[in-house]
Amino acid sequence: MMQVVAQVGQWLGLGGSIVANLFNPRLIVIGGYFASLAEWLLPHGQDQLQRLVVAAPAAQCRFVASTLGFGAASRGAASMVVNRIIDDPTTIMDSLPRPTAY
């Protein structure tokens, strides 16, 4: 089982190295089920990431596990909607159904 987790960590590192080489982030946050396995996944992912990055600044990138839980994405999406409505309350009127004449 640990060998499978190590292999998933290596694939995670490969994907992270592509992101690091393209965008040079300081952190790559791992969430969902990956975050709950971070203790076993991230060391393998970080090793692979360090091995595959090309530029020196990208080598500063590291994986971290999210502490926000499984609902983080839905809470973030909901906050975007709420912020849009707060910024311009008239935008909600565009999406409401219009009454039809009988």
Q: Is residue 95 part of a domain?
A: no
Q: Is residue 91 part of a domain?
A: no
pLDDT digits (tens, 9 = 90+) for 14-73: 999 999 999 999 999 999 889 999 999 999 999 999 999 998 887 899 999 999 888 888
102: tokens are 């009988």
Q: Is residue 100 part of a domain?
A: no
Q: pTM value?
A: 0.71
Q: Is residue 79 part of a domain?
A: no
Domain span at 38: 2-69
Split into its structural domains, the chain has a count of: 1
With a CB cutoff of 8 Å and minimum separation 6, the contacts of 62 are 26, 27, 28, 46, 49
CATH code of the domain containing 31? 3.30.420.40
Place of tokens 């009454």: 99
Q: Is residue 102 part of a domain?
A: no
Q: Is residue 16 part of a domain?
A: yes
d(CA 90, CA 51): 51
